[in-house]
Each structure stands twice: as C-alpha cells, then as structure tokens.
Chains A and B, each alone.
Chain A
C-alpha cells in the first residue's frame, strides 16, 4: 500500500499541473501580505467600522496573526478549487492517458490502487496546506509581528490573547485538512466515473461552488439547508477561534466531514471495483 502511495506521489509531483496550486497559493498569500503591508490600515478601518464608532482599539492590530487569519479566511474558500485539480485528475487523468489499464492489469488489488490514489491526493492536500501555513503564518509574523488576534463574527467581536492563538491555528490546520480532504474525496469520486479529467474537475468545482454559495448567503430558506451542507461544516475551523471553543460543535462538524470522506471514498472504491476499464 505504501509502495503504491509513494508511486502515486511520485507521479503527482512529476506533473507540472501539481505546482499550479502551490504557485497560486503562494501568489495569493504574497499579494495579501503586500496589500496589507502597504495599505492594511485602511482595510482595518473598513473591517472595524462597526466597532470603531463606539470603541477605541489600541495596539498592533495589523499583526501577523491577524493577517494570517485574513489569508485563511480568503484562501480556504479557494483552495478547494485547486485541490479539485489534482484529486479530479487522480483516476480520470490516467484513464485519459490510457495508463489506467496498465495499472489495473498489474498484480495489485483495485481497492489498494484506489485507496493509494486517494491517500496520495490527501497527502498532496496536506502538503498544500502546510505550504500555506508556513508561508502565510511565517512570513506574516516576520512582516507584521505578533500581537493579540481580533476575530470578527457576525454577532461577536473576539479578542484572543497572543499566547492563546498558536494552538488554535494548529487545531484549525487539522480541521482545514479534514475539510480539504472532504473536497478531495468529492473530486475523487467523480474521477472514478470519467475518462478525462476535465469532467470530474469541473463537476467537483461546481459542487463546491454551489454549496459554498448556499453556505455564505444569509437567506432564511438557505439557512435551513446549511446544517446539511458539508461546505458549511468546512467553515467550522473558525470554531477554534471562539472563546471558549464550542468543542462539541466543532467535533460534530469534524465528525460530519469524516463521515462524508468515508462515504465518498467507499463509493469510489465500490464503483471502481465494478468498473469496466474501457479507456
């Protein structure tokens, strides 16, 4: 299994497509950091408009933690699309190249093959997130320093002590990993059915985009739907920035995401085992 996964990772990292996501994330992070560095104060004015009318906030508001929170807030909506690029290609890309039939005629079980591919996609996802964390947090802290973190919710303004922030980022990283692997699982499932990678990539992106739009629109009829959307639970990495953390709610979301992953991957395994490889 590990040999298979290593082969899959080797293939992933030999493909130029793989690096698009790293380049895109790197570019977005650096752009946000530059923008904040040059004109962060006016962004803060805008963000804090509501609270600034009644309160005076003192200190290094535009610090590394705040900038990284902003980066996560922006990126975790877009990273799923980049993950679809690789996970959607996992099986369908090989079918398209004709190499899938080579793999299936090798003395390895189909379940092992598909699981190793999923594992490789997941590892890729984790590497992408790690890259994002290192670049986003490391450079932001170097540029903007460390201070308390302001978090704005729709009905709450939270100020977290700077000594109380890093573990939250670590936990949020774990949660984000789970969210992104859920997206990878969706793209992966679609990938099993297709003989070219465009189809599953677009399909998975569409699912993520539609579900995200439903999640972010604050309209009562959609709100009723939200607890059933995995994209809604994906946003619960922010639960770690609540004070105190509503662990029950966060774990519930994490559990729902894990169930989604198990469901999507099991379906992928089931259909792949039955699939007639005709490509």
Chain B
C-alpha cells in the first residue's frame, strides 16, 4: 500500500514537473508567434479532395492577430474546408484554460519533437483534444492532431525554412475527414456514359487535404481589414 502511494505520489510529481516543462515550451512557441502581429503572404494552394476537382492556384494569405485569417485567390475562387482557420499556426495554440499532458517524443519529417497533449477545460470550445508535436530547438509546431466535437478530427503538418525565426511555416498540409458528396442527376442533367461504373474507393473518399506553400511573407506591415470580409 505504501509502495503504491509512493508510486502515485512520484507519478503526480513527475507529471506535474514535466507538465511545467511542456507549458514553458508552449509559452516559448507562443511568444515567438506573438512577434507576428499580421502578415500578408503569397503562395500556392492545392486542395485534394476526391470529389473536388480544382487546380493548384496562386493565393494570397492574410493574417491578423489574434485570429483573423483569410486565403484569397486573386480574381478567382478559393475553397477551404470549414474550420480551415486551423491552417493558421496561431490558431493551434489554445486560448482559455487547458490542461497539459506530456506525450513523450516523436519524429516528424526526421526532426525529433516533443509531444504535448492539450485538453481544454472550458466547455465552450469545439476542440476536445489537441496533440502538438513541437520542435524544441526551433520552438515551432511541426505537427498537430486536433479532435473536435463537431468537425471530426484533423491533422496539420508544417515544415519550416526561411521564416523559422518568426515561427511561420513554408508549407502547411491540412488533412481532414470529408462527408459524402452527391447530387441527383435530375438536377445536374448529366451525360450517362454507360458501361460498368468504377468501384469507388470508400477509404480514399473519406480523406481530404489542403496544402499551402508559402512563398514569401510580408510580416508586420499592416493588413487592411477589408481583406477579411
């Protein structure tokens, strides 16, 4: 019994100790991102969803603290998954109260990262659990897996090059689950090919991703509010 109590105590102690360490790392990441008030970035966006056919396009990405984010295609149409705000790094960090649980180490793209699980303690948010893979050396998030109440779970992978100092990624891959898409042919007046229908890959159909390649950032130069309309 004593041994058990001792074990429990030591576990609580160590976990709290670890948690403090994780929290510090988290704050470090946050502080780095906080240096960015706003940015306007140009880049390329590619949407990969089985039922959406859209070519890779040049886009402009606008960001303003705390959480304003917009991807626009000049003179064109851009499609982002709902909750696509999470494509933005800043939005991955929790607001309000949360509990931190250490998750050990993990390797993302050949970089060893510290895994931190965050459980929001406020009831209001949609997020149930976030798992962040943080590169301690660079103080940036390399990967995040987010579970939500409403939008299912999604995963964000980020790689860094030129803008590591600002904590801004060169590439973001946002993976998510999709629902079925089906419209009646009576509405679409569609041509019927005839012949055997190709067997649909159900598993493939359920996954989608958005990839944004950031080419250049204009950081802290001010962004007009109308860009977020």
Contacts and interface: CB of A to CB of B under 8 A. Distances in A.
Contact of A153 (B57, B71, B84, B183): B183
Contacts of A150: 77
Nearest to A159: B54
A217 interface: yes
Nearest to A224: B194
Interface of B: 51-55, 57, 70-73, 75-82, 84, 178-179, 181-195
Given A58-B72, A159-B54, A152 B188 contact: yes
Contacts of B191: 232-233, 235-236, 238-239, 249, 253
A243 B57 CA distance: 15
Interface in A173-226: 215-218, 223-224, 226
Nearest to B84: A56
A150 B75 CA distance: 14
B192 A54 contact: no
* Complex A-B, nearest 10 residue pairs according to Cβ-Cβ distance, in ascending order: A227-B194, A59-B77, A159-B54, A226-B192, A148-B77, A148-B76, A218-B185, A236-B191, A158-B53, A235-B191
5 contacts: A51-B52, A57-B77, A146-B75, A216-B185, A235-B189
A53 interface: yes
Given A156-B51, A159-B54, A162-B76, 7 more contacts: A56-B81, A59-B73, A59-B77, A60-B77, A162-B75, A227-B192, A249-B193
Given A59-B76, A162-B76, A154 B190 contact: yes
Interface residues of A, number: 47
Nearest to B54: A159
A260 interface: no
A57 B109 CA distance: 31
Contact of B188 (A58, A146, A153, A162): A153
Contact of A238 (B57, B76, B84, B190): B190
Q: Which of B71, B189, B191, B194 has the most CB of A within 10 A?
A: B191
A77 interface: yes
Nearest to A235: B191
A60 B72 CA distance: 11
B53 A58 contact: no
A161 interface: yes
B79 A155 contact: no
Contacts of B52: 51, 55, 156-159
For chain B, what secondary structure do more than half of its interface residues adopt (helix, strand, loop), or is it mixed? loop
A217 B76 contact: no
A54 B57 CA distance: 20
Nearest to B210: A55
A50 B189 contact: no
A216 B185 CA distance: 7
A223 B192 contact: yes
Nearest to B47: A159
A152 B183 contact: yes
A110 interface: no
B209 to A, nearest CB: 13
Nearest to A229: B192
A168 interface: no
Contact of A217 (B81, B178, B186, B187): B186
Contacts of A148: 73, 76-77
Contacts of A59: 72-73, 75-78
Nearest to B59: A58
Nearest to B80: A56
A176 to B, nearest CB: 13
A55 B190 CA distance: 24
Q: Which of A150, A157, A159, A238 has the most CB of B within 10 A?
A: A159
A122 interface: no
A58 B73 contact: yes
Given A56-B81, A59-B78, A154 B183 contact: yes
A73 interface: yes
B193 A155 contact: no
